[in-house]
């Protein structure tokens, strides 16, 4: 087979030769470097490459070219090679425009010209591009088929489960002719939906999360009974602990109830995370972290519900919902938080049927040219508003407080002000939601006037509050009045150690009231609710795990 291709496109011959030279110097043994002087010439070359059946790993295109700029070219190139990774070459003066375009077109990186020295400014970017391409490649994607009802809550939850676990799938509404043919071939009835058909032809009728996880190749069973470290929760804090634990030689397993990434994994774009100046989606960040953990040897168990944590001598024992157990020398609790339920009449009944929690990206196609409402005033709500503005006719952000400044980052507020179809209503709450089989209307209340207004919509996305689900810990772990887990100095009251504390020292900074059980991320009392701090606490927890194990 011929080598995969790295393509560079620039109308300036000297720049084109320079970037091609630098790429050949580093990647010439494994990739063929092809250069073009215009977007039109590059598209002609890509069509020939497509006919020959060769693969394109990455494309670097100049942002400012006559007749066809880099963004327009990359959009058309994606139609020919959708799996090729993409980067923009741009001058400093065009940085803002390039970043804005990146947010819309989903380009992977941008590079400032000049990029000397390439070892610092060019190669790390291209390394990331080709690494991502190798993980995906141009191989045919084996799709799982999902047949369900547009307004079925179980069908919606199954779509979310597959999407958030990066399982390629194709959705068929039960009223489509192809769905009828698939159901007949599978011997399934329409009232058995959702129906899942795996790439090998296996049919699952209304499967549970663990059943679908096993069927599509996600790991659900632990490979051992005893580990050095069990990480409970797969958000940024948990993934951080898994990466650092496994990379430092600890036999590590991460246990996740639904999908890795947590709330951050549902974010359409995180733009204030260190090291990603052009932003990164929660799904991309999660996928990279998950692959990084696996690279170092960490196990990742999906669709496993942890219902108990006990101490048996030096071991910390984890009990799953099915009654099975695993044990470890130490544990990191990183279960994060969940969006609070919307306290509006009809909200519970219509959840998954027009009322959604989090940025349900699977609903984006259905929002085309529709009016969308988003409840919340923090960053997650703002990011969702930006995302849905590319699909919906209008997006209205419903904020209970007097302004966004108290809870949302400045950069995001500025973005929202520049988007014509995004509107913000402050001092507004949702009084009720209503509809027959699905959401049809929302009733809003103005806190200043007390007046209510009923508006038609099929889509309401909720991003309010943050509540931990720590009831399963019972009395074994100390928690504050809101359910967040207390750690370190917060456990000491009037100089006294927590009840049941068995060690002749105070709890370490992230250590809970059970020795050897550490807490990281949003579930920890008094934590900073940011992705970067969660990752940092995940790494810090592993450092403290080492201190704990050394004293045993």
Domain ranges of the chain: 5-136, 144-211, 226-338+467-550, 355-462
CATH superfamily for 226-338+467-550 is FAD/NAD(P)-binding domain (3.50.50.60)
On whether the CB atoms of residues 39 and 137 are closer than 8 A, the answer is no
Domain 5-136: give its CATH code.
3.40.50.2300
SS3 42: helix
Q: Does the bond joining 500 to the residue before it have cis omega, within 30 degrees of 0?
A: no
CA-wise closest residue to 206 among 216, 218, 194, 198: 194
Note down pLDDT in tens along the chain; length 552 residues.
578 999 999 988 888 899 999 999 999 999 999 999 999 999 999 999 988 888 999 999 988 888 888 888 988 898 889 889 998 888 766 666 666 656 656 677 878 777 888 888 888 889 988 988 887 666 555 678 999 998 999 999 999 898 888 888 889 999 899 999 999 988 998 889 999 999 888 999 999 888 999 998 899 999 999 999 999 999 999 999 999 999 999 999 999 999 898 888 777 778 888 887 767 778 878 888 998 999 899 999 999 999 999 999 999 999 999 999 999 999 999 999 998 999 999 999 999 999 999 877 778 888 989 999 999 999 999 999 998 998 899 999 999 999 999 889 999 999 999 999 999 999 999 999 999 999 999 999 999 999 999 999 999 999 997 889 999 999 889 999 999 999 999 998 767 888 889 899 999 999 999 999 999 999 999 998 889 999 999 999 999 999 999 987
Q: How many CB atoms lie within 10 A of CB 539?
A: 17
Q: Is 335 exposed, middle or buried (0-12, 13-18, 19+ CB in 10 A)?
A: buried
| Strand partners for 310 | 317
The CB density around residue 382, as the number of other CB atoms within 10 Å, is 25
Task: Kindly report the pTM of this predicted structure.
Answer: 0.77
Rounded CA-CA distance 332/516 in Å is 8
Q: Which of 228, 236, 288, 284 is nearest to 261 (CA)?
A: 236
Asked if the domains 226-338+467-550 and 355-462 are classified in one and the same CATH topology, the answer is yes
Assign a CATH topology to domain 355-462: FAD/NAD(P)-binding domain (3.50.50)
Region of 435 on the Ramachandran plot (φ > 0 left; ψ -120 to 50 alpha; else beta): left
Q: By the 8 A CB rule, do 27 and 58 touch? A: no
Instruction: Give strand ranges (E) for 426-500.
Output: 428-434, 441-446, 452-456, 459-462
Token digits for 113?
Answer: 């010209």
CATH topology for 144-211? Glutaredoxin (3.40.30)
Q: What is the largest CA-CA distance in the chain?
A: 76
Identify the helix (H) or strand (E) that includes residue 324: none
Confirm if 235 and 242 have CB atoms less than 8 A apart: no
Contacts of 443 (CB under 8 A, 6+ apart): 344, 430, 431, 432, 433, 434, 452, 453, 454, 455
Which segments within 393-524 are labelled E, that is strand? Answer: 394-398, 422-425, 428-434, 441-446, 452-456, 459-462, 517-519
């Amino acid at each position: 087979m011929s080598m995969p291709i790295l393509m560079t496109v620039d109308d300036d011959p000297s720049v084109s030769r320079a970037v091609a030279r630098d790429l050949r110097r580093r990647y010439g043994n494994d990739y063929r470097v092809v250069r073009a002087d215009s977007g039109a010439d590059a598209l002609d070359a890509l069509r020939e490459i497509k006919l020959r059946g060769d693969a394109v790993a990455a494309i670097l295109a100049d942002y400012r070219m006559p007749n066809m700029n880099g963004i327009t070219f990359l959009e058309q190139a994606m139609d020919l090679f959708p799996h090729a990774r993409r980067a923009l070459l741009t001058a400093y003066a065009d940085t803002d425009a390039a970043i804005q375009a990146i947010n819309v077109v989903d380009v992977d990186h941008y590079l400032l010209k000049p990029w000397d020295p390439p070892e610092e400014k060019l190669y790390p970017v291209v390394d990331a591009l080709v690494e991502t391409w190798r993980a995906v490649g141009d191989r045919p994607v084996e799709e799982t088929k999902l047949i369900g009802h547009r307004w079925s809550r179980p069908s919606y939850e199954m779509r979310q489960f597959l999407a958030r676990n990066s399982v390629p799938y194709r959705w068929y509404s039960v009223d489509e002719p192809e769905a009828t043919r698939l159901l007949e071939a599978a011997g399934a009835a329409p009232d058995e939906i959702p129906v899942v058909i795996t790439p090998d032809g296996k049919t699952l009728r209304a499967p549970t999360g663990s059943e679908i996880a096993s069927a599509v190749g996600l790991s659900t069973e632990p490979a051992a009974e005893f580990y050095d470290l069990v990480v409970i929760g797969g958000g940024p804090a948990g993934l951080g602990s898994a990466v650092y634990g496994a990379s430092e030689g600890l036999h590590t397993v991460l246990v996740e109830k639904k999908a890795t990434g947590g709330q951050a994994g549902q974010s359409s774009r995180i733009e204030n995370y260190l090291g990603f100046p052009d932003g990164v989606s929660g799904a991309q960040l999660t996928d990279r972290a998950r692959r990084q953990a696996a690279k170092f040897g960490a196990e990742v168990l999906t669709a496993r519900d942890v219902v108990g944590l006990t101490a048996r001598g030096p071991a910390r024992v984890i009990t799953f919902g099915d009654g099975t157990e695993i044990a470890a020398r130490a544990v990191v609790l990183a279960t994060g938080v969940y969006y609070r339920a919307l306290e509006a009449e009809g909200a519970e009944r219509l959840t998954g049927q027009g009322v959604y929690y989090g940025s349900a990206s699977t609903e984006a196609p259905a929002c085309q040219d529709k009016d969308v409402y988003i409840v919340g005033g923090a960053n997650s709500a703002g990011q969702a508003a930006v995302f849905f503005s590319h699909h919906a006719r209008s997006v209205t952000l419903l904020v209970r407080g007097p302004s966004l400044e108290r809870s949302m980052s400045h950069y995001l507020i500025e973005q929202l002000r520049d988007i014509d179809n995004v509107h913000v209503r402050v001092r507004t709450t949702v009084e009720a939601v209503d509809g027959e089989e699905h959401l049809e209307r929302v009733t809003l209340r103005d806190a200043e006037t007390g007046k209510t207004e009923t508006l038609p919509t099929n889509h309401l996305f909720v991003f309010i509050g943050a509540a931990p689900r720590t009831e399963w810990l019972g009395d074994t772990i100390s928690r504050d009045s809101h359910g967040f887990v207390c750690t370190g100095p917060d456990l000491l009251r009037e100089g006294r150690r927590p009840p049941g504390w068995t060690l002749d020292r105070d709890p370490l900074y992230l250590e809970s009231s059970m020795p050897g059980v550490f807490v990281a991320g949003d579930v920890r009392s008094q934590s900073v609710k940011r992705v970067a701090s969660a990752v940092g606490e995940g790494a810090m927890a592993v450092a403290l795990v080492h201190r704990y194990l050394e004293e045993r």
